[in-house]
């Protein structure tokens, strides 16, 4: 089988090898999404030399392992919030569906042998049998590979407790921001504004027709623009960028009433100076949102099947596995204009 392995900074190599058995289900990978963490691994490829990455994927079951609900030939998406951690299934966290915080989990490494437990930048991979979700007939493999980022958005919206008629401000127009916008609309938000720095990306976001307003994140009068657009302030702020100045502007654009909500999804790259006074005076309920859980992952796939959410329009680029190096170079040259890149592995 062929696979893409990190071989240096900003460097992939295509190699061939055998998939080693590790007691997990065996899958033929068909599609894998490029996550922001994947680009970080690529930039620091020397540090991760020999690693096969990729965790947003779908494929076809070759051997289902211990999952009796699956059979060879079934199309599935892999739930990978617990990347390389096998949950026990019976502790308090597991019984609550929070596998990521299993207290008895077995931890695998990226390098249990070069192809001991590879990521999905590969024609075949292995995964925990009960972390696979069968795809409905009307959900394509390509859509299945997008379940993970849309589960992240769903988790953020549920943490934020979005209510009908909420006015929502989202910072950042990447795939997580768009996922949050899709779910906010589904949960009944009456007005959605997306703040985005890149002017070309703002035009792309307008084309998705998921936001009512798309504004320039670097506008000198941004705070006043937001207050004018929202008619005096937003009910909810969702931060998907982790930039202090943007977050604090967002806080100031919340309604001047009690118990407005702010949710942080984007991780900051340094210490985060917070407008603490504004947080206190507006009595803002500030929450963090990390990843998603198994139930949310399954909910996303059901929502794709029912038409509650639309995901395919966010695919900005498709590349073949053999072209992954050139594809990543093209993404870098595009400077953030891609929303979701899908790798076709077969």
Q: What is the pLDDT of residues 210-256, one digit of tens each?
A: 999 999 999 999 999 999 999 999 999 999 999 999 999 999 999 98
> What value does the mean pLDDT take over residues 84-98?
77
Label residue 84 by pLDDT band (50, 70, 90): low
User: Looking up tokens 């004018």, which residue turns up?
Assistant: 228
User: Looking up tokens 């909910």, which residue turns up?
Assistant: 299
The answer to whether 234 and 193 have CB atoms below 8 angstroms apart is yes
User: Among candidates 287, 277, 280, which has minimal Cα distance to 258?
Assistant: 280
Task: Considering only residues 81 and 94, tell me which one the structure prediction assigns the higher pLDDT.
Answer: 94
Least confident of 114-123, 160-169, 174-183, 280-289: 114-123
The answer to whether 2 and 19 have CB atoms below 8 angstroms apart is no
Label residue 117 by pLDDT band (50, 70, 90): low
Label residue 115 by pLDDT band (50, 70, 90): very low
The answer to whether 261 and 236 have CB atoms below 8 angstroms apart is yes
| Beta bridge partners of residue 5, listed in sequence order | 13
Task: Report how far residue 243's alpha carbon sits from residue 332's, in angstroms, rounded to the nearest whole number.
Answer: 21
Max avg pLDDT among 41-50, 194-203, 254-263: 194-203
Task: Report how far residue 320's alpha carbon sits from residue 305's, in angstroms, rounded to the nearest whole number.
Answer: 26
| Mean pLDDT taken over the chain | 92
Least confident of 9-23, 113-127, 167-181, 227-241: 113-127
Domains of the chain: 2-146+311-344 (3.90.180.10), 152-288 (3.40.50.720)
> What value does the mean pLDDT take over residues 264-279?
84
Q: How much is the pLDDT for 100?
A: 73
Q: How much is the pLDDT for 260?
A: 86
Distances (CA, A) of 46 to 7, 9, 83: 6, 5, 21
Q: Are strands 2-8 and 213-216 parallel, antiparallel or unpaired?
A: unpaired
Helix 147-160 crosses helix 175-186 at what angle (to 10 degrees)? 60
Least confident of 104-113, 141-150, 240-249, 299-308: 104-113
**What is this structure's pTM?**
0.93
**DSSP, res 34:** P
The answer to whether 312 and 287 have CB atoms below 8 angstroms apart is no
CB within 8 Å of 128: residues ≥ 6 apart = 24, 25, 82, 86, 87
> What value does the mean pLDDT take over residues 79-84?
71
Q: Is the pLDDT of residue 111 over 90?
A: no
Helix H or strand E encompassing 342: strand 340-344
Q: Is the pLDDT of residue 175 over 60?
A: yes
CB within 8 Å of 250: residues ≥ 6 apart = 169, 171, 195, 226, 234, 237, 239, 262
How many helices and strands (H and E) does the chain possess?
Answer: 11, 17
Q: Is the pLDDT of residue 112 over 90?
A: no
Q: How much is the pLDDT for 130?
A: 87
Q: How much is the pLDDT for 82?
A: 60
Least confident of 157-171, 202-216, 247-261: 247-261
Q: How many residues are given for the chain?
A: 346
Task: Report how far residue 94's alpha carbon sits from residue 293's, in angstroms, rounded to the nearest whole number.
Answer: 10
Least confident of 22-31, 70-79, 100-109, 186-195: 100-109
Task: Report how far residue 33's alpha carbon sits from residue 30's, in angstroms, rounded to the nearest whole number.
Answer: 11
Q: What percent of the chain has a predicted confidence (pLDDT) above 90?
A: 74
The answer to whether 330 and 127 have CB atoms below 8 angstroms apart is no
HSE at residue 7, side-chain half, CA atoms within 13 A, is: 10
The answer to whether 93 and 103 have CB atoms below 8 angstroms apart is yes
The answer to whether 249 and 223 have CB atoms below 8 angstroms apart is yes
């Amino acid at each position: 089988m062929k696979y893409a392995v990190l071989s240096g900074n900003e460097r992939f190599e295509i190699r061939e090898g055998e998939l080693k058995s590790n007691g997990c289900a065996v899958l033929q990978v068909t599609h894998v999404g490029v996550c922001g963490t994947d680009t970080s691994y690529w930039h620091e490829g020397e540090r991760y030399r020999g690693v096969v990455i990729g965790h947003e994927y779908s494929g076809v079951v070759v051997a289902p392992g211990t999952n009796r609900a699956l059979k060879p030939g079934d199309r599935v998406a892999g739930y990978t919030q617990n990347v390389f951690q096998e949950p026990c299934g019976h502790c308090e966290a597991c019984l609550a569906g929070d596998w990521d915080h299993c207290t008895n989990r077995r931890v695998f490494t990226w390098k249990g042998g070069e192809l001991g437990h590879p990521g999905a930048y590969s024609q075949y991979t292995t995964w925990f049998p009960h972390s696979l979700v069968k795809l409905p007939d009307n959900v394509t493999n390509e859509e299945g590979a997008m379940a993970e980022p849309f589960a992240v958005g769903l988790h953020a919206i549920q943490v934020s407790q979005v209510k009908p008629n909420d006015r929502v401000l989202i910072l950042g127009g990447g795939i997580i921001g768009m996922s949050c916008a899709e779910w906010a609309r589904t949960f009944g938000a009456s007005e959605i504004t997306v703040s985005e720095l890149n002017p070309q990306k703002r035009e792309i976001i307008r084309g998705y027709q998921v936001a009512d307003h798309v504004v320039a994140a670097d506008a000198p009068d941004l705070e006043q623009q937001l207050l004018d657009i929202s008619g005096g302030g937003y009910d909810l702020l969702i931060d998907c960028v982790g930039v202090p100045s943007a977050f604090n502007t967002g806080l100031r654009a919340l309604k001047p009433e009690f118990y407005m909500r702010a949710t942080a999804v984007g991780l900051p790259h340094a210490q985060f100076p917070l407008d603490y006074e504004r947080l206190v005076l507006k009595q803002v309920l500030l929450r963090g949102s990390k990843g998603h859980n198994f139930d949310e992952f399954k909910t996303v796939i059901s929502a794709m099947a029912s038409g509650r959410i639309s995901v395919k329009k966010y695919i900005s680029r498709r590349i073949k596995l053999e072209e992954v190096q050139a594809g990543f170079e093209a993404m870098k040259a595009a400077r953030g204009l891609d929303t979701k890149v899908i790798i076709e592995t077969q």
